[in-house]
């Protein structure tokens, strides 16, 4: 249907206008606060489970991030599902609102096979993704600290966050393709091995390259998104520590 990311951009604006680029935004906008709250809370708890000492190694940070990612899937799965199903209404004149998509999904397939469709694919994606996410961020931050000391400038935090975001997608992208396909289709998945079945189907249809279709725009998206997420978290934490003394 498309020749590449730029063709998607041009056709979307041509058919749906500039606001078409923001289709599906309501779902993550409503859920992102809860998702990130759960993610960073789970990461803090996971760090203490992995080691009682505050200075973790990079592999230990990766393990804590993977544990946090598994917990994060509880909220991330439905948020992702409704975002993808909103975006999948491409070029339709009668696009449904988020509330309508939710009602239709619930009425047709219920909670397990509707709202939580693709949950295990989301778990499978989040474990390596957030392991790499936190490990990549911490690795870059420690490298900057060797040069600039403990109090890093904001640009260094942004750069470290970007590195974490890129690491996220490189660690999990084929699993994200599986998750997106499962959540977008009309029929619910069957069986417990649908992830491997879907991976084989993708390779059979388009070769191994199909497992990485859309990777470049995802990487471009991760640079500002992860940079803002980590920098905001670090600066907010420092502010709360100085304000509350805790």
Q: Is residue 152 part of a domain?
A: yes
DSSP H helices, the chain, are 5-16, 26-50, 58-87, 98-109, 119-148, 154-184, 194-206, 215-244
Cα dihedral 45, 33, 175, 21, rounded to 10, equals -160
Q: Is residue 47 part of a domain?
A: yes
Cα distance between residue 229 and residue 217, in whole Å: 18
b/e per residue, 141-153, with b = 16+ CB within 10 A? Answer: beebeeeeeeebe
Q: What is the CATH number of the domain that holds 232?
A: 1.50.40.10
Could you tell me the CA-to-CA distances from 139 to 82, 98, 142, 188, 195 in Å, in that order? Answer: 33, 39, 5, 40, 31
Q: Is residue 205 part of a domain?
A: yes
Model confidence pLDDT, tens digit, residues 185-238: 888 887 778 999 999 999 999 999 999 988 998 999 899 999 999 999 999 988
Q: Which domain holds residue 137?
A: 25-244
Q: Is residue 4 part of a domain?
A: no
Mean pLDDT of the chain: 90
Report the candidate in 54, 83, 49, 82 with the shortest Cα–Cα distance to residue 66: 49
Domain count, the chain: 1
pTM above 0.95, yes or no: no
Q: Is residue 212 part of a domain?
A: yes
Q: Is residue 11 part of a domain?
A: no
Model confidence pLDDT, tens digit, residues 118-156: 999 999 999 999 999 999 999 999 999 999 998 899 999
Cα distance between residue 60 and residue 230, in whole Å: 19
């Amino acid at each position: 249907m498309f020749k590449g990311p730029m063709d998607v951009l041009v056709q979307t604006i041509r058919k749906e206008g500039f606001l078409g680029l923001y289709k599906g935004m309501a779902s993550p906008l409503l859920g992102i606060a809860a998702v990130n709250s759960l993610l960073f809370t789970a990461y803090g708890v996971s760090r203490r489970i992995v080691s009682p000492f505050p200075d973790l190694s990079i592999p230990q940070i990766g393990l804590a991030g993977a544990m946090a990612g598994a917990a994060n899937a509880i909220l991330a799965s439905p948020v992702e599902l409704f975002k993808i199903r909103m975006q999948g209404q491409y070029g339709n004149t009668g696009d449904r609102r988020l509330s309508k998509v939710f009602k239709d999904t619930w009425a047709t397939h219920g909670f397990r096979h509707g709202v939580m469709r693709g949950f295990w694919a989301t778990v499978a994606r989040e474990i390596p993704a957030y392991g790499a996410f936190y490990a990549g961020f911490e690795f870059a931050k420690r490298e900057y600290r060797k040069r600039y000391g403990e109090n890093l400038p904001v640009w260094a935090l942004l750069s470290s966050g970007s590195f974490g975001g890129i690491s996220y997608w490189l660690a999990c992208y084929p699993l994200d393709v599986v998750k997106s396909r499962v959540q977008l289709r009309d029929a619910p998945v069957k069986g417990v091995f649908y992830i491997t079945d879907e991976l084989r189907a993708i390779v059979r249809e388009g070769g191994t390259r199909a497992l990485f279709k859309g990777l470049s725009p995802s990487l471009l998206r991760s640079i500002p998104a992860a940079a803002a997420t980590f920098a905001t978290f670090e600066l907010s934490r420092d502010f709360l520590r100085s304000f509350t003394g805790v």
